[in-house]
Amino acid sequence: MNVLLDTHAFLWAITGDEQLSETARETFLNPANSLFFSAVSMWEICIKISLGKLSLKRGWLKKIQNELMINAVQWLPIEMSHCAELTKLPFHHRDPFDRMLIAQAMVENMLLLSRDKRLSAYGIERLW
């Protein structure tokens, strides 16, 4: 199954955070799944670090790059079709990062690994 990782799901998976559900952990570790990390999530991480809303250990960029490679997580760029899908989304959720992840999941027909229950209002398949 193709799985798009929400930002928190990816960070919690690579740091062993206990907030990651058992289902999410199993999904992340299952080699039968194709995992995707969006450019949106990288953008969100960088913005939150610059605003002081997220603190990661020194060498965080290299850690993310290594974890993507080690876990065979594929990079998902933002495509025009993803941006166009945003125009169709109702405002159940106002977070721009989450809205783009929703649009990407819809266009790419991916399951979204996220604990945010509000995302289910968009009719996407969300797993946690």
- Quick one: pLDDT at residue 92? 86
pTM: 0.93
Structure tokens belonging to residue 43:
């953008």
- The answer as to CATH 3.40.50.620 being correct for domain 2-127 is no
- Quick one: pLDDT at residue 94? 86
Residue 11 corresponds to which amino acid?
A: L
- Chain segment 76-92, per-residue pLDDT in tens: 999 999 999 999 999 88
- Quick one: pLDDT at residue 69? 97
Domain ranges of the chain: 2-127
- Chain segment 10-55, per-residue pLDDT in tens: 999 999 999 999 999 999 999 999 999 999 999 999 999 999 999 9
Task: Give the residue among 109, 50, 51, 47 at the shortest CA–CA distance from 76.
Answer: 109
